[in-house]
Amino acid sequence: MKMKFAWLLAASMMTAPVWAADPIKIGVAGPFTGGSASMGVSMRDGVKLAVSEINAAGGVMGRPIELVERDDEAKNELGVQIAQELINKENVVATVGYINTGVALASQRFYQEAEIPVFNNVATGSIVTKQFAGADFKANYIFRNAANDTIQSAMIAEEAVKRQGFKKPAILADASNYGQLGKTDLTNALQKMNITPVATEKFNVGDTDMTAQLLRAKEAGADVILTYAIGPELAQIANGMAKLGWKVPMIGSWTLSMASFIDTAGPNGDGAMMPQTFIQQPTTPKRKAFIEAYQKAYNVDRMPSPVSAAQGYDSIYLLAAAITQAKSTEGRAIREALENLNTKMEGVVTTYDHPFSAADHEAISDNIPVFGLVKGGRVGPAHPEDIEGDKALRIKPKA
Amino acid sequence: MQILMQLIVSGISVGMIYGVIAFGYQLTFATSKTLNFGQGEALMLGALVGLTTVNFLIGNALGNFWAYILMLPVVLAFGALQGSVVEWLGVRPAMRAKSEAGWIMATIALGIIFKNLAENIWGRDALRFPSPLPEASLSIGGIRIQPMEIVVVLGAIVLMVVVELFNRYSIYGKAVVATSNDRDAAGLMGINTNRIITFSYALSSMSAAFAGVLVAPITLTGASMGAVLGLKAFAVAIIGGLSSGLGVVIGGLILGITETLTGYYISTGYKDVPGLLLLLIVLSLKPSGLFGKAAIKKV
């Protein structure tokens, strides 16, 4: 018995932190397994990297950050359970994450009620930050540092019609919420340019034969295919086009950068273009340091989802800056600090200078993302001139 | 015309897969009047075991083609084993207890267990299966077809013909046919009908596993690949009739072709609707299926 106690004491001394103060608990929720795992895992790894850097530099207010990671498996009901666990049992001061818009929408109401900030660093649905905005709510606890679908669809339309001069786009979207909401956003964006898509086709998640959809687009005379879907089905589209011996460019939402698309489509996926907030290239010193640290920490060459990793990394620094400014871990104080962030913070994606206000909870504006292009299994810049010189760092215009 | 032909060709290759899986339903139904509702999972396990084997063989400096050929016996053996396990754990206890529905619950439960098992072993991502043949499509009279699609159709036909020949000409096959016709009489004639039923389950999962490695190179491999296919094949089995081997093949082709034709000529959003309508019509007009023999249940 005595022996056991001695062991316990020794063990607790070994793990006892050098910190005198209590850690600050931050929740991390996202799909770490399943179809969107490449995004979830990259996001989590970006988050962990930022936390280890912050803790090595002395923590926040002299307290270390402790992450509570939970896998939501991209399932709404699991997201809800996790939200309740993180709020009531783990007592987190804030939660970062969410890859899937549906999970974010189902889960974040609990944070809103508990007045604990949620930092969406990947989910793109336009409605995510607007769920509790407006006159009916005293305050909105939902923030985001990802390019939302309104921004992405406008960029896709702009790129296809204005920059590349395509006149007859066909839209291919999956039957999920993500695909169908994106399809509506895309149709609206094209409408503003007086363009009606020549074909709008739908398929189920898990469909493997795209012959009917592609033939309809082809027969309608489509000169470009605009997509809103996720990796595996996007790959089936690219492979289906190759099978039919028909090749038109694919331009679509940022999911065209998913590893499952790039790896499954192989050479058929080359040339696909999508909006990216971050491309794995050392265009600024900060980005160079981030890429090298990530590669070293996780022993990879190609990040599975560079955008998710970079946004995950930045989300923690923004949150840490807000906690430091608020000098408190109380939810309301953190939210107020986020809404008037005084420190100008250089992140990987952009330099955040007053990124949020009480009315605007989106850190990424439409001038920040650039187009990425799939080539040889990697995403590079589609228009290298867009990120040359001083254009490398794109900053949200002041309100 | 060319488009119509292209759609039909794609429909055939999809439909043939539905047909092979439905053929598996038919095999066990014939001998024991029970089905394996985890047929989709048997297909998925076959494909994943195939993927691991192929990757292992390719890792040992074998070409894609020979790796694929050498993998086939492994997958077939695995399928047979998996089917026997399903029969032993799920179906036999229910039949011994003379339970009318026990085997339904048991095979569904086993299907879920297999899926979870696969998620734990292979993860939940969709994985790429190395294609044994060139992936560039051939153009035959303006119709584009992937070499692997031809293999799918041929492979499915070969499998069904082999099973049919086996049933007709081997002594063991004759025992299977006898059990299908009248289990009690076959038992009295000295046929071990329990063993025949186990065998039919082994054969059924074997054909599903084979279907799995046939489709895997043109689709993706993953723990969730079986769910949709298993369900579609079930619809095919009902349309074609559970008592007819030829019926399920034709049922598969009908469903595959209607799907692609509706997708093109009506709307891709309604692709699945005519198949389901067809299912309802067949069920109300000819409940034993288009090619099924109407069975009179004697009480």
Spans of all domains in chain B = 2-285
Residues of B in contact with A216 (CB under 8 A): 263-264, 268
- Percentage with pLDDT > 90 across chain B: 31
pLDDT tens sequence across A178-204: 899 899 999 999 999 999 999 999 998
Quote the pLDDT of residue B297: 58
Cα–Cα distance measured from residue B223 to residue A34, given in angstroms and rounded to the nearest whole number:
10
- Percentage with pLDDT > 70 across chain A: 95
Test B220 with A213 for CB contact under 8 angstroms. Answer: no
Cα distance from A224 to chain B (closest Cα, Å)?
18
* pLDDT > 60? residue A125: yes
Cβ pair A127, A180 in contact under 8 A = no
* pLDDT > 70? residue B238: yes
pLDDT tens sequence across A308-331: 999 999 999 999 999 999 999 999
Domains of chain A and CATH, by start? 21-147+282-364 (3.40.50.2300), 150-276+372-379+383-391 (3.40.50.2300)
Quote the pLDDT of residue A7: 57
From A12-16, A37-41, A61-65, the region with the lowest mean pLDDT = A12-16
Residues of B in contact with A206 (CB under 8 A): 224-225, 227-228
Q: Is B215 on the interface with A (CB under 8 A)?
A: yes
Single pTM value for the model:
0.84
| A219-243 mean pLDDT | 92
Which range among B84-93, B180-189, B228-237 has the greatest average pLDDT?
B84-93
Test A206 with B123 for CB contact under 8 angstroms. Answer: no
Test B260 with A33 for CB contact under 8 angstroms. Answer: no
* pLDDT > 60? residue B158: yes
Q: Is B119 on the interface with A (CB under 8 A)?
A: yes
Q: Is B271 on the interface with A (CB under 8 A)?
A: yes
Q: Is A202 on the interface with B (CB under 8 A)?
A: yes
| Chain B, nearest residue to A204 by Cα | B269
E strand or H helix at A171, and its extent? strand A169-174
| Chain B, nearest residue to A266 by Cα | B128
Mean pLDDT of chain B: 88
Interface test with A, best of B220, B255, B257 (most A CBs within 10 A): B220
B166 or A4, higher pLDDT? B166
Quote the pLDDT of residue A388: 77
Q: Is A197 on the interface with B (CB under 8 A)?
A: no
Cα distance from B124 to chain A (closest Cα, Å)?
4
E strand or H helix at A25, and its extent? strand A24-30
**Residue burial A272-285, b: 16+ Cβ < 10 Å; e: rest:** bbbbbbbbbbebbe
| Banded model confidence at residue A159, pLDDT cuts 50, 70, 90 | very high
H-only helix segments in B91-243: 92-96, 102-122, 147-169, 171-181, 183-188, 193-215, 225-240
Test B3 with A201 for CB contact under 8 angstroms. Answer: no
Q: Is B162 on the interface with A (CB under 8 A)?
A: no
Q: In what order do the strands lie in the sheet with A65-71?
A: A65-71, A24-30, A94-97, A118-120, A142-144
Cβ pair A341, A324 in contact under 8 A = no
* pLDDT > 70? residue A10: no
Q: Is A31 on the interface with B (CB under 8 A)?
A: no
* pLDDT > 80? residue A380: yes
Closest by Cβ to A208, choosing from B135, B139, B219 = B219
Quote the pLDDT of residue A399: 67
- Percentage with pLDDT > 70 across chain B: 98
| B150-160 mean pLDDT | 90
Q: Is A377 on the interface with B (CB under 8 A)?
A: no
| Chain B, nearest residue to A230 by Cα | B126
| Banded model confidence at residue A67, pLDDT cuts 50, 70, 90 | very high
Q: Which amino acid is at A211?
A: T
| A286-294 mean pLDDT | 94
* pLDDT > 90? residue B226: no
* pLDDT > 70? residue B294: no
| Banded model confidence at residue B131, pLDDT cuts 50, 70, 90 | confident
Q: Pairing relation of β-strands A370-375 and A378-381?
A: antiparallel
Quote the pLDDT of residue A18: 55
| Chain A, nearest residue to B257 by Cα | A212
Residues of B in contact with A213 (CB under 8 A): 263, 268
B86 or B223, higher pLDDT? B86
pLDDT tens sequence across A45-57: 999 999 999 999 9
Cα–Cα distance measured from residue B12 to residue B52, given in angstroms and rounded to the nearest whole number:
28
Closest by Cβ to A216, choosing from B13, B144, B264 = B264
Helix and strand numbers, DSSP H then E, in chain B: 12, 2
Is B2-285 CATH 1.10.3470? yes
| Banded model confidence at residue A74, pLDDT cuts 50, 70, 90 | confident
Mean pLDDT of chain A: 90
Cα–Cα distance measured from residue B111 to residue B224, given in angstroms and rounded to the nearest whole number:
11
| Banded model confidence at residue A2, pLDDT cuts 50, 70, 90 | low
Residues of B in contact with A263 (CB under 8 A): 128
Quote the pLDDT of residue B114: 93
User: Token digits for A76?
Assistant: 């709404």
Cβ pair A341, A321 in contact under 8 A = yes
Cα distance from B272 to chain A (closest Cα, Å)?
10
Q: Is A107 on the interface with B (CB under 8 A)?
A: no
* pLDDT > 60? residue B248: yes
* pLDDT > 60? residue A4: no
Cα–Cα distance measured from residue B130 to residue B50, given in angstroms and rounded to the nearest whole number:
10
Interface test with A, best of B14, B152, B232, B268 (most A CBs within 10 A): B268
| Banded model confidence at residue B82, pLDDT cuts 50, 70, 90 | very high
From A298-307, B188-197, B201-210, B239-248, the region with the lowest mean pLDDT = B239-248
Cα–Cα distance measured from residue A146 to residue B54, given in angstroms and rounded to the nearest whole number:
40
| B191-209 mean pLDDT | 91
Test B224 with A215 for CB contact under 8 angstroms. Answer: no
| Banded model confidence at residue A1, pLDDT cuts 50, 70, 90 | very low
Distance from the Cα of residue A251 to its chain's centroid: 18
Test B124 with A216 for CB contact under 8 angstroms. Answer: no
| Banded model confidence at residue B245, pLDDT cuts 50, 70, 90 | confident
Report which of A295, A251, A294 is spatially closest to residue A274, judged by C-alpha positions: A251
* pLDDT > 50? residue A16: no
| B105-122 mean pLDDT | 90
Test A243 with B137 for CB contact under 8 angstroms. Answer: yes
Q: Is A311 on the interface with B (CB under 8 A)?
A: no
Q: For residue B63, give the 3-state DSSP assignment.
A: coil
**What are residue A25's DSSP bridge partners?**
A66
- Percentage with pLDDT > 90 across chain A: 71
